[in-house]
Amino acid sequence: MAYKEVFWMACDSTEQLRAEYGPFHTRAEAETEARKLGFLYLLRYEHFLGEDEEIQEVRCIFIELPGAPREIESSPVTLHTRCATCGESSAHDYGWQAEVWADIHEFEHSRHRVRLFEHARGKGLKEIANWRG
């Protein structure tokens, strides 16, 4: 006999690279937390378990919060650097901080390459290509 397990997450976008917060047992708990965080979506996970309690199927359903603004214009942008070689990363408030971090990392680790991403709430991560010329 199959069993369905449901849990809820608060999330900031429907993009693959999104921030998720949770899990929560009820939609109301997830919605309350999403509104506190300024997130626009809920994510409902449904796990279908087999007789041996192993996951047979997973469904993900995005739900846009009612009354949530369509666009967040004044959301702050955070910059994130990540080394494509070793995976070390850091978050920054200013562009010059990201550049200094990248310079130091690439100096200390020859042949490493640092990538830059910007994160805006509700929009997910976006890579900034050719940011160092």
Token look-up 């942008």 returns 77
Q: Considering the domain boundaries, does residue 22 fall inside one?
A: yes
Domain assignment of residue 18, given as a range? 3-64
Q: Considering the domain boundaries, does residue 45 fall inside one?
A: yes
Taken in order 72, 75, 77, 82, the sign of the CA dihedral is: negative
Q: Considering the domain boundaries, does residue 72 fall inside one?
A: no
Q: Considering the domain boundaries, does residue 122 fall inside one?
A: yes
Q: What is the three-class DSSP state of 20?
A: strand
Residues 55 and 13 in one domain: yes
Q: Considering the domain boundaries, does residue 71 fall inside one?
A: no
On whether the pTM is more than 0.85, the answer is: no
Residues 16 and 57 in one domain: yes
Residues 8 and 44 in one domain: yes
Per-residue model confidence as pLDDT tens for the chain (133 residues): 578 889 999 998 888 778 899 899 999 999 999 988 888 899 999 988 888 888 888 899 999 998 765 554 556 788 999 999 999 999 998 888 999 999 999 999 989 999 999 888 767 788 888 887 6
Residues 36 and 81 in one domain: no
Model pLDDT, residue 70: 56
CB distance 127 to 115 below 8 Å: yes
Which of 34, 64, 94 finishes a domain? 64
